[in-house]
Structure 1
Amino acid sequence: MYITLSDRPAASPAAPVAGRRRVAPVVVTLGLVSLVTDISSESVAAILPLYLTAVVGLSAISYGLVDALYQGVSALVRIGGGWAADRGGHPKWVAFVGYGLSAVARFFLLFSTGLAAISTVIAADRVGKGLRTAPRDAMISAATPPESLGHAFGVHRALDTAGAAIGPLIAFAVLWWIPDGYLTVMVVSFGFAVLGVALLGLLVPDRPVVERRQDRAPVRWREVAQPGLVRLLVVAGALGLVTVGDGFLYLALLDLGGFAAHWFPLLYVGTNVVYLTLAVPVGRLADRRGKAKVLIAGHGALLAAYAVVALSLDATASTLLVLLLLGTFYAATDGVIAALAGRLVPDELRASGIASAQTVVALARMASSAAFGALWFVLGPQQALVVVGGVLLLALPAAFATARGLDLDAAELP
């Protein structure tokens, strides 16, 4: 009934084996698209927490609401993006719409000065991200044999994270040479966003994940809700509720007094360099040892990051250690959860399965950001992290017990 991508490796003796660590060309191309797009988004994201709190003058509660918007708006459309990709069978063009919307949002950011206008533009940008993420990941999954998914997603995330490291470097350089040069950062951001849309439209082939049939039934939740995927959603959602946004941790480190405010964008660079370094080896580890185990272990690294900040150790040492731990957390979770979710549903529902997992994580982190902002306001940064870290410590054993066996479920799914 369904025809898979023509560039998906065939199960024959001549096909590349996982040990050769080769990935399909489309994976690299999509990685380049993500690289330039992340330069665009992260150059702005790197200045946003400091800009909103130090320049605009928002309180911790207000910043928490903005960060919740940044984290969660994409969740409102991710399932829609996955459904559209599965229904139409052409995920490239669904992703293209998402990348294009984000580019348009970057343009209007140039003229947004008030909090309400900035929030609206951020929301539009996140809607674009929500539309593009699942179709893009579905193309990666469809072009890769199951035994190499962790590696393929690691390669993509490494390229993606290279852009996430370059973006804050550009923001830092601009603000170093041009005091209050926020508009210049936004102009550069817009230029890279347009480049990402062009690369996707011109270089990524329009190869359908499955052949569309006129009598094909709409995607239904009961078909997507395989038992293994539901267990993954429960685990991912619970852990997402105790995942504090990077901006809060960076502001807490700034509060410790280990560096001057103009160095703030480089914190994002440090985290992303670690992520970039570890994405491929951790992806390979997930392929060998189990994606669910690596996912839970990644949240253990996040717990350690909370502890470092809460203990108020030497400011410089704390900063370096937190960046290392956060990079490890993202390497063990971001691509790994997409690789696992894509194998817990039938092939023709891959985008919807990935979108479901990403939606749950985004919504949970949205709620976490809003709640943590209030907790910070009441208790202060260190005490708030103690509370959240304590809950995460209790949640990890339960999450491990629930996620146990998910890799076997993925292997057994026809």
Structure 2
Amino acid sequence: MAINKQSLILKNISRSVWILSLISLFTDTASEMLYPIIPIYLKSIGFSIVLIGILEGVAEATAGLSKGYFGKRSDATGKRVPFVQIGYAFSAISKPMMAVFIYPLWIFFARTIDRFGKGIRTGARDAILSDESTPETKGRVFGFHRSMDTLGAVLGPSLALIYLYFYPEDYKTLFYTAFIPGLLAVGTSFFLKEKRKINSTETKAPPFFSFLSYWKTSPPMYRKVATGLLAFTLFNNSDVFLLLKAKQSGLSDTAVIGIYIFYNLVYAAFAFPLGILADKIGLKKMLLSGIGVYAIVYFGMGFNHNIYVFIGLFTLYGIYAAATEGVSKAWISNITDKNDIATAIGTYSAFQSVCTMLASSLAGMIWYQFGANTTFIVTGTASIFILFYFVLMTNEKD
């Protein structure tokens, strides 16, 4: 009986969705294996905090802007698979590159290649997920993909933690090791098959910022939803601030990494079931629930100093991520024309990357001027206003 129920749950997960999910699992394992140690490694080879900040800013800007451009290119050419394959290949080769030479320009190049790969693949990948689902199954398909993707964020740091326990400060070997799951991701991408058949009339590549014009021509509902999501992103600062607060409250470095792994485990466990639930109750309702949980977490972080309470807050934070990340893209794909999905998601993702950079800068300034507690309270308050924006928004299609 249990097997039949499980088969029923997974019946809407097609072969292509499974392949994309495995690719994301391998890639995130590689990336998250390095995420906790990249700042430490960069400092060990002479990077200052300022230079690390500039590096990450340039890398994220590259990813954000290229998401919009290559999303539009994918729609214009009618192709998805080549963008996915090239994007994941770029991310894979960037891992060992950071260990080969330690010159700042080379490190900038390697890190930018990684984020550029993310920009190339994102719109096309999410468009495939949308094509492999119906409006009634978008939540579960995007949720399943997010669940598998985030499972890599559990495996990666866990492997790094185990390796560094036996070989402390041997960071370079980790960069080479991360190349293995990266190669598995690239190899798996060759099992994808192109399904879209569009006769493209495009003869030359459009200007890099041509995707920005989509905002004017997009459906009004897209602009309403994207505006709310981007406003939320503007106050949704980096996970690093949550980890810093935990560290300030007395957790050891190992415990901080451990709680980050725990958060991703919760995220991975809840993304798929919450995606299924979102299809039943509506994507908008699930998004509202997620933002509400987010507000609770940030108010809790602002007033809490108890180490044990952090476990509960990071549990809720994982549930928030599961209720919003895949759901937001599923909602966007439901309110845009099928032939513009990669452009729509790419354009949104481009603006989102810019807002993410601004969010962390804003949070850092508030933290520096007024302290950690004020940072979290301001963020929690802003999320309540955004919650009301979505509540009052009418004519939604979810």
Measure, in 2, the Cα distance between the counterparts of 1:307 and 1:269.
Answer: 22
Measure, in 2, the Cα distance between the counterparts of 1:58 and 1:325.
Answer: 34
Superposed, which structure 2 residues align to 1:5-404 within 5 Å? 21-49=11-39, 59=49, 67-69=56-58, 71-113=60-102, 117-201=106-190, 203-208=191-196, 210-214=197-201, 221=214, 225-257=218-250, 259-318=251-310, 320-402=311-393, 404=394
What whole-Å deviation, never above 9, does each CA across 1:61-84 have from its counterpart, x for those lacking one? 776655545554311111112111
Query: In structure 1, the residue corresponding to 2:320 is in which secondary structure?
Result: helix
What whole-Å deviation, never above 9, does each CA across 1:216-268 have from its counterpart, x for those lacking one? 998862685111111111111100000011112111111111x2113333233
Measure, in 2, the Cα distance between the counterparts of 1:51 and 1:108.
Answer: 14
TM-score w.r.t. structure 2 length? 0.88
Tell me by how many angstroms 1:342 deviates. 1.1
Tell me by how many angstroms 1:145 deviates. 1.8
TM-score w.r.t. structure 1 length? 0.85
Is this contact kept in 1: 2:77–2:202, CA < 8 A? no
Tell me by how many angstroms 1:391 deviates. 2.5
Mean alpha-carbon deviation: is it higher for 214-223 or for 101-110?
A: 214-223
Taking a change above 3 Å as real, the CA distance of residues 65 and 247 of structure 1, as seen in their structure-2 partners, is farther
Query: In structure 2, the residue corresponding to 1:74 is in which secondary structure?
Result: helix
Is this contact kept in 1: 2:139–2:279, CA < 8 A? yes
Is this contact kept in 1: 2:87–2:121, CA < 8 A? yes
Measure, in 2, the Cα distance between the counterparts of 1:238 and 1:377.
Answer: 22
Measure, in 1, the Cα distance between the counterparts of 2:82 and 2:195.
Answer: 10
Tell me by how many angstroms 1:322 deviates. 2.7
Tell me by how many angstroms 1:29 deviates. 0.8
Taking a change above 3 Å as real, the CA distance of residues 31 and 188 of structure 1, as seen in their structure-2 partners, is same
What whole-Å deviation, never above 9, does each CA across 1:121-141 have from its counterpart, x for those lacking one? 323211111111110111111
What whole-Å deviation, never above 9, does each CA across 1:96-143 have from its counterpart, x for those lacking one? 111111122212111354666544432321111111111011111111
Q: Give the partner amino acid of 1:240.
A: T
Tell me by how many angstroms 1:93 deviates. 0.2
Measure, in 2, the Cα distance between the counterparts of 1:109 and 1:143.
Answer: 36
Measure, in 2, the Cα distance between the counterparts of 1:368 and 1:392.
Answer: 13
Q: Give the partner amino acid of 2:160.
A: A
Mean alpha-carbon deviation: is it higher for 229-238 or for 366-375?
A: 366-375
Q: Give the partner amino acid of 2:170.
A: G
Tell me by how many angstroms 1:312 deviates. 2.7
Q: Give the partner amino acid of 1:281.
A: P
What value does the CA root-mean-square deviation take over the aligned residues? 2.7
Tell me by how many angstroms 1:212 deviates. 2.0
Q: Give the partner amino acid of 1:30.
A: L
Q: Give the partner amino acid of 1:205.
A: K
Tell me by how many angstroms 1:19 deviates. 7.2
Matched residue count: 386
Is this contact kept in 2: 1:171–1:265, CA < 8 A? no
Q: Give the partner amino acid of 1:231.
A: K
In structure 2, the partner of 1:6 is: none
Is this contact kept in 2: 1:308–1:321, CA < 8 A? no
In structure 2, the partner of 1:14 is: none
What whole-Å deviation, never above 9, does each CA across 1:18-56 have from its counterpart, x for those lacking one? 977422111011100110000011111132356567996
Measure, in 1, the Cα distance between the counterparts of 2:107 and 2:122.
Answer: 22
Tell me by how many angstroms 1:358 deviates. 2.0
Taking a change above 3 Å as real, the CA distance of residues 245 and 100 of structure 1, as seen in their structure-2 partners, is same
Measure, in 2, the Cα distance between the counterparts of 1:155 and 1:355.
Answer: 20
Query: In structure 2, the residue corresponding to 1:264 is in which secondary structure?
Result: helix
Measure, in 1, the Cα distance between the counterparts of 2:100 and 2:321.
Answer: 33
Measure, in 2, the Cα distance between the counterparts of 1:204 and 1:279.
Answer: 23
